[in-house]
Every structure is written in C-alpha cells, then in structure tokens.
Amino acid sequence: MLFSHIDILDENLDYLKDQFVGVEGAFITYVGAEEPADAARFGQVYDGRGKLLMSAFYNTHAHAAMTLLRGYAENQPLQQWLNETVWPFEAKMDAEKGHHYWGTMLAQAEMLRYGVVSYSDMYFATTDRCDATLEARMKANHCDSSTMLTDADYDTLPVAEMNKRLFADYHGTADGRIRVDMCVHGEYTTAEGMIERCVAEAKAHNTGLHIHLSETQAEHEECKGRHNGMTPAAYLDSLGVFEVPVNAAHCVWLEPEDIALMAQKGASVSLNPASNMKLASGFAPVQAMLDAGVNCALGTDGMASNNTHNLLQSGYLLACTQKGSALDPTTVTPKEVLQMLTVNGARAQGRSDCGVLAEGKRADLVVLNTDTPWMCPTYDMATNLVYSANGADVVLTMCDGDVLYENGDYKTIDIEKTKAEVVRCVNEILGALSGKALSV
C-alpha cells in the first residue's frame, strides 16, 4: 500500500505534512516528501488528505478476556474487588465453552478499533487466547497467570504443563507476532520458590516476565512487613527477577530506590492510570521514572477496572493526572506520552523492529482523521493527539502490513458473532454463579 499526500509523525514523532509512505509485505520501505518513481510496486494507493499516519499503539498490560466482566465489578477497593467479585466470576469461566476465547476476541476488536496492534496479556486458558490472536492476526505477548502461592513442585502444577505447550507450540509463531512470557502474578500471590523457577524458565526460553508490582499501598507495605523491610521490587531483585526483561504493571508505590533499581536493570513499567484511579490505588511517580531513564509504557488493564481499551484515553488521563498530582503543569510532555503509546510499548514487549514510522520497521500503523472540529487549529500535533484526539478518530489499523480494521470494517473478526458469543458466555457464567438462568 502507498499512503499518499498524508501527514505523518515520523520516527522522532515530528509532524510532517503531505508525505508518502510505502508498505511492502510486513515492512515500511519508503518514507518521503515526493511520490516514489516506482509507485506502482506498492499496489493500492490510499488517499491521505485530511488524515494523519503514525505508529500504531502497544498496550502493555491487559487481561483481555475480562471483557466479560465489563461493568460487573464496580465501586469496590482492590482486595474486595478481587476476592468477592472478580475471582468468583473467573472461577466459573470455562475454556471448553469458549469463554476465554470469545472474551479475548471482543477485546481485540475493541483494541483494533482504537489503533492497538499488540498487547501484553496476563490471564488463563492461554492457548485459547493465543488462538484468538492468531485468528485476528494481531500481535500479543501472552503469559499464563495461574497464581502459585504454594510450596509444591512447579513441574507438578497445571501451569507448568501449560507453559511447556505455549513455548513449544506458540512462542515466536506467525512471524513473531505471538510471544510467550513467563508470569509472576504478584509478590503476594506467588511463593518464593515459584518466583525463582519462573525466572529460570524465562532465562531458558530467552523471554521476559510480566508481573503486577506495587499496585496498591497495602500490597507495597505488607510486602515490607513480610520481608524485613524490603519493598516488592527489592524482594524480587533478591530472587533474580530483574536478570530477565521485566514488564512491571502499575508501579504506583515505587520508592526512589526502586526506581533507581529498575532503571539500572532495564525493566519496563506499564502505567495504567485509568485502572489506578478507578480502584483508588494512587498516582505513579512517572516523572521520577522518566528522569531516571525507566522505559515507561501504557496499559489499559482489564475491563473490570477500566471498562475501555481506548489507549489514547489512557494517555490523556496519564498526562492530566500527573500534572494535577504533582501540581506542576510542565511534567510529562505530549511527546513523552506518545512515546509511551508507541516505541516504548514495543520495547517493553521485546519488539525492537516496531513502534516507529521509519523505513525498515514493521508496518504497524494507524490512520487518524484529523479533519475534525476538535483537531482544529493545530499549533502542535503531539499536543492535539494527547489532549484533543480520541481513539474513535482511528479510521485504519494496520499490523505487519495487513489492514485489520478500516472505517468500521473488521477484516479478521466477525464482530456480530463475537458480540453474540460474549453475551452467551456471560449468561452462562451468571447462571452458574446464581444457580438460575440470568441474562444481560
């Protein structure tokens, strides 16, 4: 495809007008102000007037199948939310009935609509979720989040068998679109020996580790009480966790020494401002992380604690809340937010050839309609994207050179069937919870 006469955000997120971008196969092979002499080699021509082309977005923390719980677990603090509402619902989710598959498929449709091409997912029934990703032709870093608060032998647990299958059958498949990571759900849900074994497995498979870290003040302080004053980050470091690439979700209550540690170790942080506000967890020290050189990216979390996969909205919330909580209007610039949405997210997923609009990079791209009242005037495009644009402005989403969404048309997902199947799944789960037939 050749995008013609289209405005772009280039590899430095600088705004350039009236450009040409050529895509061949999975890669961007031309970027320039002039139409290429051999334009016919790109095939279809996309008229880009009134639109903006930029890198697609990378959601670095999700629980995709939790679309089934959208609007179900509301107005509760985290531990009550988990123990009394979410976990009982999840206990009734049945992979054999397609609950995880269809929940994931709906999440992917929503993400594509909002310009997300790749997501880091921590949940159950992981082969089903991988299959859904393959069918949708998206990218994902999947990990199985079975909690391991046990002193049993790791190799005797169902999660061990699941991970063997994931690494054997899915890791690196579909030209690298599917990646498998190890999972430590959290310090408070995982025994010490299990954490060490997860690190060893990550090393053996040359992959990363996805974890919840210092999400709430209670989690953070209770860890210090259990481990002789060590914060979750310090405790995990003592077990070798940061010897592998780490994608740490939330990090709301990091202390200065934790931030320095994560910068030194090259860990990534997935910031989830919508979830952290909705569950009243707090505001992460983002500017301190950026100043220390921590790779900060953005996530939506699950749909019971955010309700939308609109990652641009997450960027807006992050920018506004950081300024408000710091009482400093200069903190976290629009370009820094866009970096979190794009190249930083790709880096957190171990995707070094993604996340920027440049020749030789993967063609993970989004087109946004900028010919709207809320994008006029444009003094600075980065500012408009963070503070004025919305995920609904996305009109085309491309992953590895394949158009997966365009103007309401899902190319790889039967959206009506998906919605109907999700309603079926939810009704089955509600019936199992109540002991009688219910419907939504």
Residue 79 has pLDDT above 90, yes or no: no
What pLDDT is recorded for position 177? Answer: 98
- Specify whether domain 2-55+357-407 bears CATH 3.40.228.10: no
Instruction: Give this prediction's pTM.
Output: 0.98
What pLDDT is recorded for position 339? Answer: 98
Q: Would you place residue 69 in the very low, low, confident or very high pLDDT band (cuts 50, 70, 90)?
A: very high
What average pLDDT does range 349-370 have in this prediction? Answer: 98
Domain boundaries, the chain: 2-55+357-407, 57-348
- Calculate the alpha carbon distances from 75 to 80, 221, 251, 300, 415 in Å: 10, 23, 22, 18, 30
Q: Categorise residue 322: left if φ over 0, alpha if ψ from -120 to 50, beta otherwise.
A: alpha
* Residues 6 or more apart whose Cβ sits within 8 Å of residue 226: none
Q: Would you place residue 78 in the very low, low, confident or very high pLDDT band (cuts 50, 70, 90)?
A: confident
Q: Would you place residue 439 in the very low, low, confident or very high pLDDT band (cuts 50, 70, 90)?
A: confident
Give per-residue pLDDT as tens, 4-62.
999 999 999 999 999 999 999 999 999 999 999 999 999 999 999 999 999 999 999 99
Question: In CATH, what number does 57-348 get?
Answer: 3.20.20.140
What pLDDT is recorded for position 437? Answer: 60
Q: How many beta carbons lie within 10 A of that of residue 74, not counting itself?
A: 12
Which of residues 152 and 339 earns the better pLDDT score?
339
Q: What average pLDDT does the chain have?
A: 96
What pLDDT is recorded for position 338? Answer: 98
Name the percent of the chain lying above pLDDT 90.
Answer: 95
Give per-residue pLDDT as tens, 208-219.
999 999 999 999
Q: Which of 67-76, 227-236, 259-268 has the lowest mean pLDDT?
A: 67-76
Q: Would you place residue 151 in the very low, low, confident or very high pLDDT band (cuts 50, 70, 90)?
A: confident
CA dist., res. 354 & res. 22, Å (int):
16
What average pLDDT does range 134-147 have in this prediction? Answer: 94
The residue with tokens 């604690």 is 305
What pLDDT is recorded for position 149? Answer: 85
CA dist., res. 437 & res. 429, Å (int):
9
